[in-house]
Structure 1
């Protein structure tokens, strides 16, 4: 049977992650790298809570880390990202892309772009993978927003004065105008998550 530490090391290397990157993705403080290194070397037993975090970060089933009877697990080249809403679409995202993005699989969901407001960046009908843990606005990032009973995508832009603009990438501003937000408007926005990947046709 493969030891837990060897499994952790193998899964980490498959994602091209360093020990400190795994620790950071688990949300551990600066001592986390040392802690994670001890787990890999078999010098310390992780708690169940830590194993759950590690399974999510390393993108493997929890059982492969807790059940010593399971001696083989070959992760595929991609991960199926579950739907944001029940019976919604799924998308496959490559493990290399996930590693490069530095996101945790358990935070990812797939939804559809339902309008043409982001045309050229995201087309109507495209599947979009969002990170539901990223709801704190960042300048020029694209977010999925709950709007009038559906999810739309818009880019947030911060002005020099600190105000926010809800931008459409579509150049037809007669149909898709940018919207300057008051503080009250901004506070009322219900962010579903940050768009991190688009799956569409050429």
Structure 2
């Protein structure tokens, strides 16, 4: 199984970069040891480091976190949809974000595309290069998001805002889909929409914890805008 560290090393070699060369692209002075620790899985990069690494390696953040993406065969969407210039073709990844307990994604590939009108994306202030589609798994976000739903995520929206739904990476590496709520008396709450709070309890976190929370993207659509 390819770990995050071995993935960073593979992508670096594909770019024909030394560890110091990659560190330089990330703006890390004398960062060769830092890259080495990441590649040997001795140290895990935080979300800010992951974004720098993804940019330097020329891949999306989701690709870096989740692994290789292999395109499916068949005709291009532009070959089967008329007036294709009016549409954005958003890659549909096999990755799953858990609306419940965390979900591991050991290998990810592109299963196809979701098609959105460009004028709708513009009205929603969404840029297609920031968007990916994945699958939701579990019942914790019902009735808002159901098990098996396609969800569209925007990697550019990583700041927590009260009431929004986010794709979050846990410390252990799993991906979860949860709503973030501003607490009445301060702090924040990671919340499931399911009313069964015995099974899906709220998780209060303080201001320090919200700053270190690895928000990967905001969920912006699931068959309708969010």
The TM-score normalised by the length of structure 2 is 0.51
Number of matched pairs: 128
Partner of 2:136: 113
Query: How far off is 1:168 after superposition?
Result: 0.7
- 1:176 and 1:106 map into 2 onto residues whose CA distance is 33
Report the aligned-residue RMSD. Answer: 2.4
- 1:88 and 1:145 map into 2 onto residues whose CA distance is 20
CA shift digits 1:136-155 (9 cap, x unpaired): 11110110111343322111
- 2:177 and 2:209 map into 1 onto residues whose CA distance is 16
Q: Identify if the C-alpha distance between structure 1 residues 114 and 169 changes in structure 2 by more than 3 Å, giving closer, same or farther.
A: same
Equivalent in 163, 166, 183 of residue 140 of structure 1: 163
Partner of 1:154: 178
Partner of 1:82: 91
Equivalent in 186, 190, 206 of residue 182 of structure 1: 206
> SS of the counterpart of 2:120?
helix
Within a 5 Å distance, the mapping from 1:185-196 to structure 2 comes to: 185-196=209-220
- 2:110 and 2:192 map into 1 onto residues whose CA distance is 24
Moved over 4 A (4+): none
- 1:76 and 1:155 map into 2 onto residues whose CA distance is 34
Question: Where does the alignment leave 5 or more consecutive residues of structure 2 unmatched?
Answer: 1-81, 96-107
Query: How far off is 1:199 after superposition?
Result: 3.4
Within a 5 Å distance, the mapping from 1:12-161 to structure 2 comes to: 74-83=83-92, 86-89=108-111, 90-147=113-170, 148-161=172-185
Question: Where does the alignment leave 5 or more consecutive residues of structure 1 unmatched?
Answer: 1-72
The TM-score normalised by the length of structure 1 is 0.56
- Decide which structure has the larger Cα Rg and report it: 1
